[in-house]
């Protein structure tokens, strides 16, 4: 299954364990962008929405067209094998 951008995966079988916020900091993502991606992660993995509803929520969250959030959303929408949830 596909893993969205910025998401860490661990265990056997694989499961998402959080965001790679340290990697984002090292790549000069600002704090606001990291917090926005954290909100998006919670929508996908913690809120219990269906994937279709979660993507709609992400588009609503992305009112300012943040490039990092666009990457996160695109990685979900362009998943070929299904999203690891």
The C-alpha atoms of residue 50 and residue 54 are separated, in whole angstroms, by 6
Q: Is 4 exposed, middle or buried (0-12, 13-18, 19+ CB in 10 A)?
A: buried
Condensed to tens digits (0 to 9), the pLDDT of residues 32-85 reads 999 999 999 999 999 989 999 999 999 999 888 899 999 999 999 999 999 998
Token pair 């709609």: residue: 56
Answer for the pair 61, 40: CB distance below 8 angstroms, yes or no: yes
pLDDT recorded at residue 64: 85
Question: Domains, the chain, ranges and CATH?
Answer: 7-77 (1.20.1180.10)
2 pLDDT exceeds 90? yes
pTM exceeds 0.85? yes
Looking at residues 5-14, what average pLDDT do you find?
94
The C-alpha atoms of residue 49 and residue 51 are separated, in whole angstroms, by 6
pLDDT recorded at residue 85: 85
């Amino acid at each position: 299954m596909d893993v969205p951008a910025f998401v860490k995966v661990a265990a056997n079988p694989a499961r998402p364990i959080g965001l790679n916020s340290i990697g984002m900091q090292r790549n000069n993502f600002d704090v606001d962008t990291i917090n926005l991606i954290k909100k998006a992660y919670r929508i996908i993995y913690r809120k219990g929405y269906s994937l279709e509803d979660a993507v709609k929520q992400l588009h609503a969250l992305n009112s300012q067209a943040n490039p990092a959030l666009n990457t996160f959303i695109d990685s979900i929408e362009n998943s070929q094998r299904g999203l690891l949830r």
